[in-house]
Amino acid sequence: MKKNPNNRQSLKSQPPSVVLVTGATSGIGNAIANHLHQKGYTVYGAGRRVQPHSGYPFHALKMDVNVDESVNRAIQVILQQEQRIDAVINNAGIALTGAVEDTSLSKARAQLNTNFFSTHRICRAVLPVMRQQRSGMIINISSIGGLIAIPFQAFYSASKFALEGYTEALRMEVDPWNIRVILVEPGNFNTPITKNRQQATDSARSPYRNWFYRAHEIISRDEQNGPSPQRVATLIERILKKKNPKLRYICGPLLDKSAPFCRKWLPQSWFEFFVKKYFGIDFKKNF
């Protein structure tokens, strides 16, 4: 049977998918937004400090993911321009470091609000649109730290652990509307998160200071020596092209990728021993 040339032409003339990327002004989010733009997607990159005529190649949107009105306003801008939203990459986040005992409730809340509740805020805003379209994709950027707990990043890990469970539940709830929900779990990448990481308290006065400084140095070193976030951007593009993407995609250096599998198969005491050893947490050497 001969192929209909009109069908082929209609496929070629389809508009690029409309994608919203949060936290798009730097790091992984910026790499994703730039890459998808280069590949022909209609990209709206959101950031809290975006200014008019900011020079980004994609459509830059000012959005504070922690404020309902700001999120809803930005979503309406996209809908007015494009009449649809095909995919959302929830990437906005911050990193907080410090011992649990040293972390105030206000700083813990700020960590959870930006890394977890902002994702819920975005999802609530876009899901009615996707349900009406009967299609869509939501990619939540989690972390290896959402699969294994990282010492002195308890609330960062807590935010990502919460995101993991949230995404699993959401994926099942929205499946009847052909909405795909996916987790991407990056390891250590060379991004501005290292210099922008917040500390819970004045660590010099903390009883945990010796272990904290050692662990913080190792975390920073691994990030600065990590690969470019372009690897995550390329993975996101591949996921967007999949009809039935799987739930989880781990991305990062080999050591990072192997850690969740070690946690699964090793006895808990063995795994904790290796993690403490890696991050320089040795009780005997400090007392």
pLDDT at 49: 85
pLDDT grade, residue 55 (50/70/90)? confident
Confidence at residue 12, expressed as pLDDT on a 0 to 100 scale: 42
Among 82, 63, 185, 186, smallest CA distance to 129 is for 82
Please count the structural domains in the chain.
Answer: 1
Active site residue 208: no
Please write the tens of the pLDDT for every residue from 57-88: 999 999 999 999 999 999 999 999 999 999 99
Q: What is the pLDDT of residue 8?
A: 40
Catalytic position from the list 118, 142, 143, 206:
142
Asked if residue 80 is part of any domain, the answer here is: yes
Q: Which two tokens stand for residue 113?
A: 């609000």
pLDDT in tens, 168-221: 999 999 999 999 999 999 999 999 888 889 888 766 788 898 898 899 899 999
Active-site hit among 156, 166, 208, 249: 156
Instruction: Please report whether residue 249 resides in a domain.
Output: yes
pLDDT band at 285 (very low <50, low <70, confident <90, very high): low
142 in Cβ contact with 245 (< 8 Å): no
Q: Which residues fall within 8 angstroms of residue 138, CB to CB, at 6 or more apart?
A: 87, 88, 90, 123, 126, 130, 170, 179, 180, 181, 182
Phi, psi of 56 (to 5 degrees): -70, 145
160: annotated active-site residue: yes
Residue 10 located in a structural domain? no
Query: Known catalytic residue: 269?
Result: no
Average pLDDT for the chain: 90
The residue from 160, 166, 208, 249 that is catalytic is: 160
Edge-to-edge strand order for the sheet containing 179-186? 59-62, 42-47, 18-22, 87-90, 136-141, 179-186, 248-251
Tell me, yes or no, whether 2 lies in a domain. Answer: no
Q: Distance between CA atoms of 211 and 100, rounded to whole angstroms?
A: 13
Identity (one letter) of the amino acid at 135? S
CATH number for the domain that contains residue 100: 3.40.50.720
What Å distances lie between residue 48 and 35, 126, 160, CA to CA? 21, 18, 21
Q: Which residues are registered as beta bridge partners of 137?
A: 87, 180
Please check whether residue 206 lies inside any domain of the structure: yes
Residue 5 falls within a domain, yes or no?
A: no
Give the structural domain span for 35: 15-285
Query: Does residue 1 belong to any structural domain of this protein?
Result: no
Instruction: Report the distance separating Cα 85 and Cα 88, nearest Å.
Output: 8
pLDDT at position 101 over 90 = yes
The answer to the question of residue 7 being in a domain is no
